[in-house]
Structure 1
Amino acid sequence: MVTINNARKILQRVDTLPLYLHAYAFHLNMRLERVLPADLLDIASENNLRGVKIHVLDGERFSLGNMDDKELSAFGDKARRLNLDIHIETSASDKASIDEAVAIALKTGATSVRFYPRYEGNLRDVLSIIANDIAYVRETYQDSGLTFTIEQHEDLKSHELVSLVKESEMESLSLLFDFANMINANEHPIDALKTMAPHITQVHIKDALIVKEQGGLGHKACISGQGDMPFKALLTHLICLGDDEPQVTAYGLEEEVDYYAPVFRFEDEDDNPWIPYRQMSETPLPENHLLDARLRKEKEDAINQINHVRNVLQQIKQEANHLLNH
């Protein structure tokens, strides 16, 4: 909610919010190699975005993970020509995954690496493994010049992630707040944001419908503006984080229509619940005769989300202006 206290912050920040194209908005097209990493740079540039967030596997045979050093350098050169920042993402926290993501980041001139853990086991054991993974990142890469974010990704609760970051004592590690991923940990967006707020520096923007399941909650991602996420309230809170300077330095536009994530944490769980293994995120492909239309729609949805977010930001700006001028 816009208030007199935060209205000036909003007016100072809202028109220069660092919006990034997120590769998952083109997930199906990239899985079928219809959109490739270099194409994302063109799309980001055409839409006046600050940069791109791209996974090491996006683009399949043509992914960053499959590029040689010369190709990675060329990708980075193109981004710099277009004045675009690069953030690299990986969907694990183990040594091999981190090493790969960091190597790609350094070879492309990226500035940040996102990771999230995917371990099965009782909560305390899982948290211990993750803490060891983070210790490896700190010991090996804290002087790399990169920043690192750990994303809430459906299985860990907000306070558990905050503890991991605080206990790491790693200055370059912070949290990436996703608009919907807390749902599956049986949390709600505003509550999760308030818990994580001191440590959030990056964001994934999307919308989703909350799906009530046996003993918990799932979410189904949908067109931004058509879901259950408090879209405007979340953006308002996030814009206002940081006293003198904006705390959030990157907002990824991650439209992911039809992605579904099941319940991971339950209302009646004990204090050391079982955390099930989760696969990497994937949206189902339609049947062949529907494929071309679905791929076209995915591209349209991605561009429409950029416009929707900008429209919501203008609404927030208007509310701030109204408060200060009345």
Structure 2
Amino acid sequence: MKWGLTVYGTVFDMGIHPQSGRQPITPKELIDMAAVRGLEGIEIPDRILREHDPDTVAAYAQDKGMFINIASGGFDAAHLKEALELGERVGAVTVRTVVGGAKFGGDRRHMAGTWQPFLHDILTGFQAAVETAERTGVNLAVENHQDLASEELLWLCDRIGSDRFGITLDTGNPLATAEEPVSFFRRVAPFVKNVHLKDYWVYGSEEGYRLVRCPMGQGVVPFAELIRILSEAQPDVTLSLEHGALEARHVRVLEEDYWTEYPGRSASQLTRLMRFIQDHVKEQGDWRTPYEKGEPPEAIAAYERDQLETGLAYMTSLIRRTRVS
């Protein structure tokens, strides 16, 4: 396993958010930030990487002993081919992409009657792009970005059938598609190429529950079990710290129409999910982030930095335990 750092989760501090008032972090700065914290790699958006000479970035990362993953997006084959070719130039391990479609909190209600055609469009785009992944030797890995459920991720992997295609596992997001995390981890583990280490607090609501960002190790995600599963299934996987978004994700599982366009789920699956929520839920408290409270950019950036340092401390302890075992 190799451990790294993403830019998402610190979008104000790293100048990614348009309201931050800061210049975006450079690849070199992100590499240095990861290196000084004893990490082994980075994941950086392709739009930032394109603003810098890829050969220079590749040489700098190699000199520091750092892996590079690229954060891209969509399922347009031409765009993904460009990202994969950029990945080849910088020596990237994986290009991660997201497909969208669902709203925050796994809400598909607006896509009633159109979700299945949407999935087939995704499949077509990935099937075309994976040829470039195989040629370049760079993985293409779709993320569970609060949109695709495990059933659909496995369907894509089965239909594409390439060793260069797989999954970027976001550890916090199974709950956004109404899935108990450990069950999700086990199901997708054979196809995981890359991991985003994200944690959440869970706050109850009349409609279901809210996922609220928190430092890694302070929320509900069972990281020790995750590492045990991945140690067996994907011992060479890359894992990068990524704190959650600045807006809570409301997962309305207690509303009947929430399940619009979802795969059929068994009673036992729903029981495991709701038991997990019941065991971890916070019923009271102000769950809003500084961003949701309308605080100024510097206050939001400071909040992100504090959570990053707390999460990194936990991540460092997890790395030590993993290497000892």
Name the TM-score, length of structure 2 as normaliser: 0.76
1:45-79 Cα offsets, whole Å, 9 max, x none, are: 1122121111124xxxxx22334xxx222222211
Q: Distance in 1 between matches of 2:258 and 2:8?
A: 34
Counterpart residue identity of residue 308, structure 1 = Y
Q: Distance in 1 between matches of 2:99 and 2:123?
A: 10
1:219-262 Cα offsets, whole Å, 9 max, x none, are: 222112221222332233223325xxx2x510111123634334
Aligned equivalent of 2:239, options 235, 244, 251: 251
Q: Is the 8 A contact 1:213 1:263 kept in 2?
A: no
Cα deviation for residue 181 of structure 1 reads: 1.0
Q: Is the 8 A contact 1:185 1:265 kept in 2?
A: no
Cα distance change on mapping 1:274 and 1:251 into 2, 3 Å = closer
Give matches, 1:2-81, under 5 Å: 17-29=1-13, 30-31=15-16, 32-33=22-23, 35-57=25-47, 63-67=48-52, 71-81=53-63
Are 1:308 and 2:314 matched, yes or no? yes
Cα deviation for residue 201 of structure 1 reads: 2.7
Q: Is the 8 A contact 1:152 1:177 kept in 2?
A: yes
> Comparing 112-121 with 289-298, which one deviates more in the overlay?
289-298
Counterpart residue identity of residue 261, structure 1 = R
- Match for residue 197 of structure 1? 189
> Comparing 308-317 with 103-112, which one deviates more in the overlay?
308-317
Aligned equivalent of 1:209, options 198, 201, 205: 201
1:146-175 Cα offsets, whole Å, 9 max, x none, are: 112111111221021011111101121111
Q: Is the 8 A contact 2:43 2:240 kept in 1?
A: yes
> In structure 2, the residue corresponding to 1:28 is in which secondary structure?
coil
Are 1:228 and 2:220 matched, yes or no? yes
Runs of 4+ in 1 over 6 A off after TM superposition: 264-267, 286-289
Q: Distance in 2 between matches of 1:287 and 1:304?
A: 22
> In structure 2, the residue corresponding to 1:119 is in which secondary structure?
coil
Give matches, 1:132-151, under 5 Å: 132-151=124-143
Cα distance change on mapping 1:105 and 1:314 into 2, 3 Å = closer
Q: Is the 8 A contact 1:124 1:272 kept in 2?
A: no
Counterpart residue identity of residue 47, structure 1 = R
Cα distance change on mapping 1:142 and 1:264 into 2, 3 Å = farther
> In structure 1, the residue corresponding to 2:10 is in which secondary structure?
helix
Aligned equivalent of 2:154, options 132, 155, 162: 162
Unaligned regions of 5+ residues in structure 1, if any? 1-16, 58-62, 276-282, 321-326
> In structure 2, the residue corresponding to 1:26 is in which secondary structure?
coil
> In structure 1, the residue corresponding to 2:158 is in which secondary structure?
helix
Cα distance change on mapping 1:34 and 1:45 into 2, 3 Å = same
Q: Distance in 2 between matches of 1:213 and 1:170?
A: 41
Give matches, 1:52-131, under 5 Å: 52-57=42-47, 63-67=48-52, 71-119=53-101, 121=111, 122-131=114-123
Cα distance change on mapping 1:141 and 1:176 into 2, 3 Å = closer
Q: Distance in 1 between matches of 2:74 and 2:201?
A: 26
Cα deviation for residue 192 of structure 1 reads: 0.8
Q: Is the 8 A contact 1:19 1:51 kept in 2?
A: yes
Cα deviation for residue 215 of structure 1 reads: 5.0
Cα deviation for residue 274 of structure 1 reads: 7.9
Q: Distance in 1 between matches of 2:124 and 2:94?
A: 20
Q: Is the 8 A contact 1:111 1:146 kept in 2?
A: yes
Cα distance change on mapping 1:285 and 1:192 into 2, 3 Å = same
- Match for residue 108 of structure 2? none
Q: Distance in 1 between matches of 2:92 and 2:150?
A: 27
- Match for residue 276 of structure 2? none
Give matches, 1:287-298, under 5 Å: 290-298=296-304
Cα deviation for residue 217 of structure 1 reads: 4.5
Cα deviation for residue 190 of structure 1 reads: 0.8
- Match for residue 7 of structure 1? none
1:156-204 Cα offsets, whole Å, 9 max, x none, are: 2102101111110112111121111111111121111121122123211
Q: Distance in 1 between matches of 2:233 and 2:221?
A: 19
Cα distance change on mapping 1:186 and 1:66 into 2, 3 Å = same
Question: Considering only aligned residues, what root-mean-square deviation do their CA atoms show, in Å?
Answer: 3.0
Q: Distance in 2 between matches of 1:208 and 1:92?
A: 25
> In structure 1, the residue corresponding to 2:70 is in which secondary structure?
strand
> In structure 2, the residue corresponding to 1:143 is in which secondary structure?
helix
Counterpart residue identity of residue 104, structure 1 = L
Name the TM-score, length of structure 1 as normaliser: 0.76
- Number of paired residues? 284
Unaligned regions of 5+ residues in structure 2, if any? 17-21, 103-110, 264-288
Counterpart residue identity of residue 53, structure 1 = E
